Amino acid sequence: MLTEQERMNNAMKEMLFHEESTAKKYAQLSQEITDPKQQQMLKGMEMAARNNYGTLSQKMSSLGIV
C-alpha cells in the first residue's frame, strides 16, 4: 500500500502532466483556428494552463517532490 505522502506525490505529478497536456492542446488548437477572437481565447487558456503548471511545479519543489 502507498503511504499518504506517496499518494499526494502521485496526485501532484498527475496534475502536472494534465496541465502540460492541456496547454499543448490549446496551443495546437489556436494554430489551427483562423478566427482571431477564438485564437486569442485559446492562447489565454494555454497561458492559464502554463501558469497552473508553474504553480504546481513550485509547490512540488517546496515539498521535495520530483
Binning pLDDT at 50, 70 and 90, where does residue 16 land? very high
Return the pLDDT at 65: 86
Burial class (CB in 10 A: 0-12, 13-18, 19+), 26: buried
Return the pLDDT at 36: 96
Return the pLDDT at 66: 78
**Portion of the chain with pLDDT greater than 70, in percent:** 100
